[in-house]
Amino acid sequence: MSHVVVTGAQGFVGRALVKRLLADGLGGRAVSKLTLLDIGFDAAPTDSRVNQIAGSIADAQIRAQAYASPVDAVFHLASIPGGAAERDYALGRAINLDATLGLLEDLRGQPRAPRFVFASTVAVYGEKLPEFVDEHTLPAPALSYGAHKLMGEALVADATRLGWVQGCSLRLPGVVARPGDGAGMMSAFMSQLFWKLAANEALTVPVSPEGVAWWISVGACVDNLLHAATVDAERFNARRCYQMPVLRLTIAEVVDALAARFGSERKALVTYAPDPFIERLFAAYPPLYTPQAEQLGLRHDGTVEQLIERAIAH
């Protein structure tokens, strides 16, 4: 029996995680209480174990409500995305940095140090990626979002050293397939490819077919978050931080696989209109090596076919 807290529970990854926690529990134990924290909720909970708290993680009273009964695990997913954080520095700092520290410090009084899984990002590496990225690549964030996430990783490791939490940060790549139109996100095409081809609708992508991206399905991403929350803490590295493994695939490889899955004629639905800026940001990813993460048990989707199945299964 355990009490699990999820921040950003209404988000894309949060919703998928909550579904899994309710259905499967955590590490073979049923979740007895699931506290969900977000700015707001679009529906009342249907499961009696769910406790929704609407408010900001920047508000100490809201955090105190979430931690009112002993906590076994926290999944910290709430964040202000990169573009929005760049437009409003104060908001980005308050949520992506200060509130992360608040969530960690407020766990000091817990009877047992809870597991704390923090969703970091590949944005910590910055814009000018080296020939390949591995677990020794030094981060060089190019946005405040990435800089604050990187600081969050350090805070999670420090809070672990202090005995407040058993922490682990995971650097997420672009997760697919986010529903909706992507609300103006420049990387929206990555998720749109899946939904549009599945629905037999035309789509123009702002990158070339040879563009290469790092891919993970929301299902595999959730597997990894759950694994980080349950693996023996003795196995974590000193930094308490791992890059999530990814499939590195060209846009054409994903389109071909989608055409093989939904019908070969659907390949013609995709038009390419490369924008050099977007191509550089989202379709020019070098090889990524993650042996430490894989040793810990973190996984990518395995095959492009599996990526597709798990990207659209929600």
Ligand X SMILES: NC(=O)c1ccc[n+]([C@@H]2O[C@H](COP(=O)([O-])OP(=O)(O)OC[C@H]3O[C@@H](n4cnc5c(N)ncnc54)[C@H](O)[C@@H]3O)[C@@H](O)[C@H]2O)c1
Contact criterion met (CB below 8 Å) for 116 and 156: yes
What does DSSP say about strands 247-250 and 212-217: parallel, antiparallel, or unpaired? antiparallel
Q: Which token pair is 147? A: 């800089």
Q: How many residues bind ligand X (CB under 6 A)?
A: 24
Nearer to ligand X, 83 or 287 (CB): 83
**Considering 145, 242, 272, 285, which one is annotated as catalytic?**
145
Radius of gyration of the chain (CA): 19
Strand partners, 216: 175
By CB under 6 A, is residue 285 in contact with ligand X? Answer: no
Sketch the per residue contact string, 216 through 255, with ligand X: x for CB under 6 A, - otherwise.
Answer: ----------------------------------------
Sketch the per residue contact string, 54 through 93, with ligand X: x for CB under 6 A, - otherwise.
Answer: --xxx------------------xxxxx------------
Rounded Cα distance between 177 and 182, Å, is: 10
Nearer to ligand X, 185 or 269 (CB): 185
For the chain, the helix, strand and coil percentages under 3-state DSSP, each to the nearest 5: 45, 20, 35
Nearest CA among 253, 270, 266, 241 for reference residue 305: 253
Contact criterion met (CB below 8 Å) for 214 and 246: yes
Q: Which of 10, 160, 217, 224 binds ligand X (CB under 6 A)?
A: 10
By CB under 6 A, is residue 150 in contact with ligand X? Answer: no
By CB under 6 A, is residue 13 in contact with ligand X? Answer: yes
By CB under 6 A, is residue 11 in contact with ligand X? Answer: yes
Is 272 labeled as catalytic in the residue annotation? no
- The residue ranges that bind ligand X (CB under 6 A) are 7-8, 10-14, 37-39, 56-58, 77-81, 95, 119, 121, 172, 174-175
